[in-house]
Amino acid sequence: MSIELVLRLVVLLGAFVWAGFRFEQLARPLLAAPAEARLRPFLPRAWGVVVNILGHARLMRKPYSGLMHMMMLFGFLFLLTAVMQVFGEGVSPLFTLAAIGGRTWIALGQDVFAVLLLTGVAMATYQRVVWKPARFVGSNQRDAAIILSLISAVVVGMLLQNSCHLAAGRDALAAWRPVSSAIASVLVACGVTGAIAIAGATAFAWMHMLAILAFLVYIPGSKHLHVIVGVPNVYFRDLNSAGRLVTPDLEQPKLGLSDIAQLGRKQALDLYACTECGRCQELCPAYASGKPLSPKLLIMNMRDHLLEAQGAGGHREGAGGPLIGGAISEETIWSCTTCRACMEACPLFIEHVPKIVDMRRHLSMEAGRVPDGISGAMLSVEQRGHPWAGTRFSRLDWCRDLDVRVLAPGETTDTLLWVGCTAAFDARAQKVARALVRLLHGAGVDFAILGDAESCTGDAARRTGNDYLFQLQASANVETLNTRAFRRIVSICPHCVNTLKNEYPDFGGSYDVVHHSQLLGELMGQGHLRSMLRGDREALAITFHDPCYLGRYNGEFEAPRAVLAGAGAAIAEMERSHGRSFCCGGGGGRAFAVEPPDQRVNVLRATQARATSAAVVATACPFCLLMLDDGCKAVARLEGDSTPLQQVRDIAEILDDAMRVADETRAPT
């Protein structure tokens, strides 16, 4: 056995042991963490891996980065053959892949993919050094630089190793290694032949091997860990409907996440999977408004905290200092609007919102520390069944002069109109409920409301971590609903729709729930309302704001647009629309929170709406309505307009306006 071989074996073994130790350290918290039932169903999970990892579905939303990643991923995968060779030859000089084409197409592939990989590295370097998109702010740039250097070293080492072999004339594969051959001819021209070339081959083989081993050892502490946990993280992704948060058992000793050791296995895996790409940060409204939350930094900080806790005493509670107030500030936790833009963007399906809500659960249900406005609203839900303490209306005031039936227990209706608290108690939002009632009358729909029996669905309670209150509300509402008969529920509020549809099944209430945009779309499709449209309508320039809980949460982007188009609107889309829509700032209980004047999400969204020059900002959610109304007024003030350039209106109001029938219940606008 040559000394070199012994040395190679020793180095290999050393690197494996070292890397193994580092991986073991990482694996420990995962193994100790409670498992989440995410193994099955196999097929949809595996298909997601194929589509998103091999197919780059989410990554390709950024073509430059997507292409770059594709070249690097497939390059990396193919060069695993070279890695095999290195390790194989490290153990035995007789190792060869010739049997499966190591001397033919694998050799060719190695050359081709090496070039692709290097191109990817060059693109990445250009992006990080020259282009510097804002999504990288806060990412570990040193880590990225080290990774890119190591990749380059691996590839360059391999290419030069092969080139030297060719230059030394010891390799008959010139035809299968076009790139290496080209380099070899340069080397030969420079006088690198014979013994020098042989020595070079050995040296570059070492470089190749050392770079691979360095990569292996380096990976466990780096964002590049995603090459290993990416696949399982996508496989174990949440397959539930987006709008369903896990219902916690309130009797368990610890409620909510206050210690990193409580994280479930997939939640912990998420932390390792983050590539610090910042796609989430780029879309986060809280981050954009200058609040201390960036979903990327949230994940990174939790990861660092997990590793610190691991270093400071293994996987036990309290190790490594406090999570809340230490690694993650309370202000950060409360800044989230639960808009889900981050989760939709993340190529690794990391779950930010459940983690944030889980920490809120601790703050709300154990520590009793909830920001003023939110705690007041939740206390009001508890005391009076709606969050709008101080309203001068009672629940039925909005429809006293309209012909609306209140459904008593035991009675039947076709469509149950779930009004929602905002549309019942807020003077502005009441107009939406009134417009919808006129449309339903016009279309001859048999509908009724619950009246005083309706109580807050508890969406804001759940999303601000007060699951106790949410569960009380849910149980009470399910009981109310189950004593009445109806075919389906329609609601004006996407938050109500989401909760009724996706979260009440946990409480014994499974209903067919639609949003009023969907119902109106359906009625128009059946021709019910079309015949009543006024003929003399002018086409209105309208921009549509996708409510998060309608769009991203429940996948409905087209119905509200169809209603607007039916009402004769010309839709001018905002820069951020559909799945990339920018939250109004009102979700996740933020509609009740005190927003610092210079950090208002609604002002940012109103600015985006203004950029379309549309006369009307349409939306389909009462929270969005109130937030955008306020935002448009604020923007008008900032811009020095006398009156807001844009009116904020619900799609139902716009459609109602387009109707032929004059009606005295229609308030003058």
Partner 1 sequence: MRAVVCLKQVIDPLTPATSLALDVQDMKIRVRAAAPPVINGFDEQGIEAALRLRETIRELEIVCIAASERFNTDVMKRALAVGADQLILVQDPSLDTWNSYPVAYALAAAIRQIGGADLVLCGRQGSDWDNGLVPYILADLLAMPLLTLAKRVNIADGKRVEIERVLADGSMTMEAALPAIVTVTSELGALRMPSVAARLTAARKQPRQIALADLGAGAPPALAPEVIDLAIPVTGRNCTFIEAADGPGAGVRLAETLLETGAVRLGMER
Partner 2 sequence: MAGILIVAEVDAGVLRPEYWELATVARAVSASIPGGVSVAVIGADVAAAAQQAAGIGPDTLHVIDDERLANPWPEAHAAALIQLCGELSPQMVLAPRSILGAEIAARLAVRCGWPLLQDVVQIEATPDGGLQAVRPVSGGAVAATVRIGAGPWVVVPRPRAFAPAAASAVAEITPTRHAFAPPPFATACGTPQRVAVQGLSVDRAKIVVAGGGGLGGPEPFTLLREVAALVGGAVGASRVAVDSGWVQSTMQVGLTGKTIAPDLYIAVGISGAIQHLVGCSSSQVIVAVNSDPAAPIFGIANYGVVGDCKEVMTAFRDTLATRAAQAGRAV
Give the interface with partner 2 as residue ranges (CB under 8 A): 390, 392, 426-428, 597, 630, 633, 637
Residue with tokens 């938050």: 495
Contacted by 535, from partner 2, partner 1, ligand SF4, none: CB < 5 to 8 Å by type: none
DSSP string, 277-346: --HHHHH-HHHHTT-S--HHHHHHHHHHHHHHHHHTTSS-TTTTS-TBTTTB-HHHHHH-----HHHHH-
Tell me the closest approach of the beta carbon of residue 76 to partner 2, in angstroms: 53
Contacted by 68, from partner 1, partner 2, ligand SF4, none: CB < 5 to 8 Å by type: none
One of 327, 336, 378, 439 touching ligand SF4 (CB under 6 A): 336
DSSP string, 612-634: TT-SEEEES-HHHHHHHHHHHHH
Site pattern 228..267 for partner 1 (x: CB under 8 A): ----------------------xx-x-x------------
DSSP percent split of the chain into helix, strand, coil, nearest 5: 60, 5, 35
Residue closer to ligand SF4, measured from CB, 340 or 610: 340
Distance, CA of 458 to CA of 385 (rounded, Å): 9
Distance, CA of 364 to CA of 641 (rounded, Å): 41
Buried b (16+ CB within 10 A) or exposed e, 511-549: bebbbbbbbbbbbbeeebbeeeeeeeeeebebbbbbbbb
Residue with tokens 């594969």: 173
On whether the CB atoms of residues 300 and 317 are closer than 8 A, the answer is no
Distance, CA of 618 to CA of 647 (rounded, Å): 8
Contacted by 250, from ligand SF4, partner 1, partner 2, none: CB < 5 to 8 Å by type: partner 1
| 274 lies in the binding site for ligand SF4 (CB under 6 A) | yes
Report the site for partner 1 in 335-364 (rule: CB under 8 A): 364
One of 296, 305, 438, 605 touching ligand SF4 (CB under 6 A): 296
One of 121, 147, 260, 299 touching ligand SF4 (CB under 6 A): 299
Give the CB-side neighbour count of residue 471, counting CA atoms within 13 A.
Answer: 14
Tell me the closest approach of the beta carbon of residue 349 to ligand SF4, in angstroms: 8
On whether the CB atoms of residues 645 and 533 are closer than 8 A, the answer is no
Residue closer to partner 2, measured from CB, 630 or 653: 630
Residue closer to partner 1, measured from CB, 122 or 636: 636
Residue closer to partner 1, measured from CB, 137 or 379: 379
Distance, CA of 470 to CA of 550 (rounded, Å): 20
Q: What angle do CA 11, 13, 14 make, to 5 degrees?
A: 65
CB atoms within 10 A of CB 128: 16
One of 67, 174, 367, 533 touching partner 1 (CB under 8 A): 367
Residue closer to partner 1, measured from CB, 227 or 406: 406
Residue closer to partner 2, measured from CB, 391 or 554: 391
Residue type, 297: L
One of 171, 259, 276, 650 touching ligand SF4 (CB under 6 A): 276
Residues 6+ apart with CB under 8 A from 388: 377, 380, 421, 422, 425, 426
Residue with tokens 């081709």: 112
Tell me the closest approach of the beta carbon of residue 217 to ligand SF4, in angstroms: 23
Contacted by 428, from partner 2, partner 1, ligand SF4, none: CB < 5 to 8 Å by type: partner 2
Contacted by 395, from ligand SF4, partner 1, partner 2, none: CB < 5 to 8 Å by type: partner 1
Site pattern 379..418 for partner 1 (x: CB under 8 A): xx--xxx---xxxxxxxxx---------------------
DSSP string, 263-275: --HHHHHHHHH--
Contacted by 426, from partner 2, partner 1, ligand SF4, none: CB < 5 to 8 Å by type: partner 2
Tell me the closest approach of the beta carbon of residue 368 to partner 1, in angstroms: 4
573 burial via Cβ count (<10 Å: 0-12, 13-18, 19+): middle
Contacted by 384, from partner 2, partner 1, ligand SF4, none: CB < 5 to 8 Å by type: partner 1
* Contacting range for ligand SF4; rule: CB under 6 A; set: 295-303, 429-437, 573-581, 659-667: 295-303
Contacted by 427, from partner 1, partner 2, ligand SF4, none: CB < 5 to 8 Å by type: partner 2
* Contacting range for ligand SF4; rule: CB under 6 A; set: 111-119, 275-283, 557-565, 630-638: 275-283
Report the site for ligand SF4 in 344-363 (rule: CB under 6 A): 345-346, 348, 350, 352-353
| 306 lies in the binding site for ligand SF4 (CB under 6 A) | no
Residue closer to partner 1, measured from CB, 142 or 392: 392
End-to-end distance of the chain based on CA atoms, in angstroms?
Answer: 93
Buried b (16+ CB within 10 A) or exposed e, 152-176: bbbbbbbbbbbbbbbbbeebebeeb
Distance, CA of 184 to CA of 86 (rounded, Å): 20
Report the site for partner 1 in 454-483 (rule: CB under 8 A): 468
Tell me the closest approach of the beta carbon of residue 427 to partner 2, in angstroms: 4
Residue closer to partner 1, measured from CB, 384 or 528: 384
Tell me the closest approach of the beta carbon of residue 226 to ligand SF4, in angstroms: 7
Among residues 398, 418, 422, which one has the least CA distance to residue 407?
A: 418
Length of the chain: 669
Tell me the closest approach of the beta carbon of residue 394 to partner 1, in angstroms: 4
Tell me the closest approach of the beta carbon of residue 295 to ligand SF4, in angstroms: 4
504 burial via Cβ count (<10 Å: 0-12, 13-18, 19+): buried
What single DSSP character describes residue 407?
P
On whether the CB atoms of residues 466 and 364 are closer than 8 A, the answer is yes
Tell me the closest approach of the beta carbon of residue 612 to partner 2, in angstroms: 24
Q: What angle do CA 152, 153, 155 make, to 5 degrees?
A: 65
Residue closer to partner 2, measured from CB, 159 or 603: 603
Contacted by 383, from ligand SF4, partner 1, partner 2, none: CB < 5 to 8 Å by type: partner 1
Tell me the closest approach of the beta carbon of residue 667 to partner 2, in angstroms: 12
Question: Strand runs (DSSP E) across 105-220, as ranges?
Answer: none
Give the CB-side neighbour count of residue 289, counting CA atoms within 13 A.
Answer: 28
One of 144, 168, 261, 286 touching ligand SF4 (CB under 6 A): 286
Residue closer to partner 1, measured from CB, 642 or 669: 642
Report the site for ligand SF4 in 27-56 (rule: CB under 6 A): none
DSSP string, 25-65: HHHHHHHHSPP-S-S--HHHHHHHHIIIIIS-TTGGGSHHH
Tell me the closest approach of the beta carbon of residue 364 to partner 1, in angstroms: 8
Interacting residue ranges for ligand SF4, rule: CB under 6 A: 274-280, 283-286, 293, 295-296, 299, 336-342, 345-346, 348, 350, 352-353, 583
Name the residues that contact partner 1, by CB under 8 A.
250-251, 253, 255, 364-370, 375, 379-380, 383-385, 389-397, 452-453, 468, 637, 640-643
